[in-house]
Structure 1
């Protein structure tokens, strides 16, 4: 990408040098220095006008989040690109206590906009998709999927049932995990908003609290969950509870597993991922699914 073309298209100040690749996980990003400071350029493959509009409402609600600069634009050979002011921060550490901030942020976020009952696309993986992948050309993960298909289908039904049983659908971030929280001198910042859309407030809160509670290790910290929920209810939210409280976590795992299978079969670009490693990881995720969902059901007691 030519820096002059980018800054002109996005309405940014004059560039200083060329863009440099930064990270490439779900979306490709670059850094670019301008006469008014550094910006982060991000490819938004799934961005919709409604998503960008919700970002503006979240910012107006005082959610700590990246600040966009310029305006989104289509860049030849890349797609839709947006620029954000550079955040001088670091990843979350084990010693960072952000439980109260997380609960307050979730409460403020969930008060912005109600939504029609819906969840991210990966919550609606129909049975025929798994059967289709099983019938495809054999891959290293095929034997594991054949063995554990009943477990996968049971988890899919569990997630669908949990969402059908909720009535607290809101427009929200939908990817509140510890890796999407940066620590700055001014406090935590919630990044990566391009998956924003409708979800369940309670199931997202439980998922976010569980993500924070397992940041230190595989066994969740009950006290951390309690601090998140206390701050959430103090901010006006309703604390999630019940046997299906962590079903969303299974939904996320199903979605990421499905993504790996699509990449393995050439149905979706692999991006920077090594396909052999991707298939090995998919096989391991399939084999671990029974234990994974068993633990989620067992840990629902942490929310009582």
Structure 2
């Protein structure tokens, strides 16, 4: 095992041991024990199909947990639909690069390429997954290279300052709030006709946190227009102190976000980051 991978395992075990401390301190997002609590909630959400198209979420779902607790189960619900082949898959953003995500069907042994800006400390190439590093706005993939493209909470970073967390390349410290549209046009180019693109982004009242931004309705429309799908489905989910819930667009039009790195946007609701998300399935 790579040294960094071993260090991560040790940190993971320490976090699991600290879970009682997490609960004793009120279950604050990003405190010690949070990683384990979040991982457990996501696994349960996936395995129980907690997020299913057109159905309400369970009561008190994901209280104190960031949007991944909705995004991953939503994604697996879409991927597991009967009769829809996955084919050649691209994870644009490396959000799937977790053992407990890749180890679940239908991602287990999928023909999956994971792409992000720079190498990460953990990777699972030995399980047959491919890794590529670069900018989504201009890839080296051939036309129609993929049948399924997945981009979970990634497009809100494209064109902004990615030097804070994802790379030390100073050229990736940008202020282009419309960078996501270039990425969507590239996704269309590299997607095979009839393929699926599964996207999630934080949603609500527009706000720019420099390293990510909250999408508003006009930006969602620009995202869809850039891909020019033959059809699409759009769903919204909102968060408050009672947990995550299915929502209408109007319900979450003024939703805000909490930046866990700067503390900006903190309220007393234990939000982990976004207080609303848009989940989109686009057909090429």
Larger-gyration structure (1/2): 1
More helix by share: 1
Structures share fold, TM-score greater than 0.5: no
Taking structure 2 as the reference length, the TM-score comes to: 0.28
Taking structure 1 as the reference length, the TM-score comes to: 0.27
